[in-house]
Amino acid sequence: MRLITRLLLPLCASVSFSCLANTCNTGRLQSPINITSTQKQKLPALEFTYLTSPLVIANDGHTLRVRLNNHSQLKLGKQIYTLSQVHFHTPAGDQISGETFPMGAHFLHKSSSGQLLALVVLFRVGDSNKTFDTLLSNIPKQVGPNQAIQSTSINVNGLLPVSKGYYRYMGSLTAPPCTEGVEWLILKEPISVSTEQLAVYKKSFSDNARAAQPVNQRPILESM
């Protein structure tokens, strides 16, 4: 669980990760990446069972984290992954054909065998998102532990696009120790966030994305 809470937690400036060591500098399956060439395949459909629960939220000084402990799950083929948290990056770390997205939501999952899976939802500027509005209204003013907002419920289905097509690749944690072997799914269809919502978010959090890492000829699969 300690690893999953650190997934994508920025500890170095996005421009330079010179403070990283070991696998962060030498690994060949690092994340995020710029997706430019893919292998189209008939991949398993993503089956989401994300449940409504009271809002539990934290300001960790780097990002806004929504904690889930309500057995929300993602099924990929025969494997079931349990959702533990959602947090945000500006800009989104992963790119599509060189396009940088202003924000990304990262849904962090873990299987019963310990396999980590990061599902990424990309944002483009457009209409406001109602679910994100709920989160913005409850950003803790101070850095600190989880806060349970009993008067507010959340269902993170509101942060998913209608289409569930995706890219799939093997990557890593993006903060030290940058452990590899993390399954990454990038949903192909972005959702929208308004300029005003981005401005509210950035009043509390600085940009926190790691720069795109070399692909190193690893296969990137694309659902058909």
Which active-site residues does the annotation give? 62
**137, burial (CB in 10 Å: exposed 0-12, middle 13-18, buried 19+):** exposed
Measured distance CA(107)–CA(113) in Å, rounded? 18
- Helix and strand numbers (H, E) in the chain are 4, 15
Residues paired with residue 39 on neighbouring β-strands, in sequence order? 221
Handedness of CA 100, 207, 215, 161 (dihedral sign): negative
Torsion of CA 194, 9, 208, 149, to 10 degrees: 40
Distance from C-alpha of 49 to C-alpha of 38, rounded to nearest angstrom: 28
Joined tokens for residue 216: 């190193």
Report the run of H or E that residue 203 belongs to, with start and end.
helix 195-204
Contacts of 142 (CB under 8 A, 6+ apart): 59
